[in-house]
């Protein structure tokens, strides 16, 4: 068991979307010595940036959340940089952590690591049964290499690292940039903008038949911290809600929650991505004593309220200038 009140913890990506929830959960559990490296100060794609980070943080525990991420469009535009940046961060950070004597390394991977046609629900044993969905395979494979490295390092060096596979996340502090956002923030922003503009239609990618599972960021943060506390094995663990929803149904739900009355148009020339995503979360329940708690519709309402507040604050700031 970890005593968070005395442990020195480094959370890479700790100022980002998931990182904000993870650092809040750690503080709730009494953590006092938290180090969050900022991108402007430490480039974790480089050996020098990692070296300086570890020298300054002197961590006993690392929770590695930092990643270069985006939706389908961003993955299609930047497959090379998504592969290189994520691979370099993971490989070099794990090696430097081993050399620095880090006691435990928590690697947070991605659902994109699973094969394109994984049987539903996704079981961790199926992780190597095929190639990932093409639009995000470079990102998924780069993050998947951390699992290989951690298993190899445990075997050779007795380095204690664990690997977690969160499903698609959503919640406050998510990325709402239209160029790089994932599906839920992208839909929320599009529909609110259309509502405000009185636009009769909103156009979304694909045909809406694909399914996804979503996990609220606070639930995921709790799972990550409990995994750090309770788990020290070689096998990956899924973190998810166990609830699958078709994207078409998701769009209609978000339209209702934001009060958008217009028509949803599907651009079938754009890719759907992986056909289905839904996780088997029995390992997390058994090994971590963890389950998702936030109701999906309630989580969407909280996310929408946060974004509406951000928009209002931005508008107020612009008006005051």
Between CA 223 and CA 273 the distance in angstroms is: 26
Q: How many CB atoms lie within 10 A of CB 266?
A: 17
Burial class of residue 1 (count of CB atoms within 10 Å of its CB; 0-12, 13-18, 19+): exposed
Between CA 229 and CA 223 the distance in angstroms is: 10
Between CA 145 and CA 89 the distance in angstroms is: 11
Tell me 5's DSSP state.
T
* 206 within 8 A of 269, measured Cβ to Cβ: no
Q: How far apart are the first and last CA of the chain?
A: 51
H-only helix segments in the chain: 17-28, 47-57, 72-77, 79-100, 137-157, 183-197, 217-230, 247-258, 282-283, 296-320
The residues carrying an active-site annotation are 139
Backbone angles phi, psi at 81, to 5 degrees: -70, -35
Between CA 117 and CA 133 the distance in angstroms is: 8
Between CA 86 and CA 300 the distance in angstroms is: 29
Peptide bond between residue 121 and the one before it cis (omega within 30 degrees of 0): yes
């Amino acid at each position: 068991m970890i005593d968070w009140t005395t442990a020195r913890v480094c959370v890479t990506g700790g100022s980002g979307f998931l990182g904000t929830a993870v650092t809040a959960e750690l503080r709730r559990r009494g953590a006092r010595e938290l180090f969050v490296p900022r991108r402007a100060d430490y480039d974790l794609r480089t050996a020098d940036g990692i070296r300086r980070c570890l020298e300054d943080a002197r961590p006993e525990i690392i929770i590695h959340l930092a990643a270069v991420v985006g939706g389908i469009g961003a993955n299609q535009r930047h497959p090379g940089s998504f592969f290189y940046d994520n691979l370099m961060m993971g490989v070099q950070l794990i090696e430097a952590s081993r050399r620095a004597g880090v006691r435990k390394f928590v690697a947070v991977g991605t659902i994109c690591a699973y094969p394109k046609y994984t049987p539903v629900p996704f079981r961790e044993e199926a992780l190597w049964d095929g190639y990932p969905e093409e639009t995000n395979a470079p990102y998924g494979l780069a993050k998947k290499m951390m699992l290989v490295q951690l298993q190899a390092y445990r075997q050779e060096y007795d380095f204690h690292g664990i690997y977690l596979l969160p499903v698609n996340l959503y919640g406050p502090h998510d990325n709402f940039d239209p160029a790089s956002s994932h599906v839920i923030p992208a839909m929320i922003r599009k529909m609110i903008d259309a509502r405000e503009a009185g636009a009769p239609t909103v156009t979304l990618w694909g045909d809406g038949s694909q399914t996804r599972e979503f996990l609220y960021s606070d639930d995921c943060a709790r799972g990550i911290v409990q995994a750090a506390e309770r788990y020290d094995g070689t096998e990956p663990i899924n973190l998810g809600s166990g609830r699958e929803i078709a994207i078409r149904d998701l769009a209609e739900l978000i339209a209702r929650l934001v009060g958008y009355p217009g028509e949803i148009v599907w651009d079938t020339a754009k890719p759907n991505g992986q056909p289905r995503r839904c996780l088997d979360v029995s390992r997390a329940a058994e090994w971590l004593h963890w389950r998702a708690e936030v109701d999906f519709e309630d989580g969407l309402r909280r996310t929408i309220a946060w974004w509406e507040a951000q928009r209002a604050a931005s508008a107020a700031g612009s008006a005051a200038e």
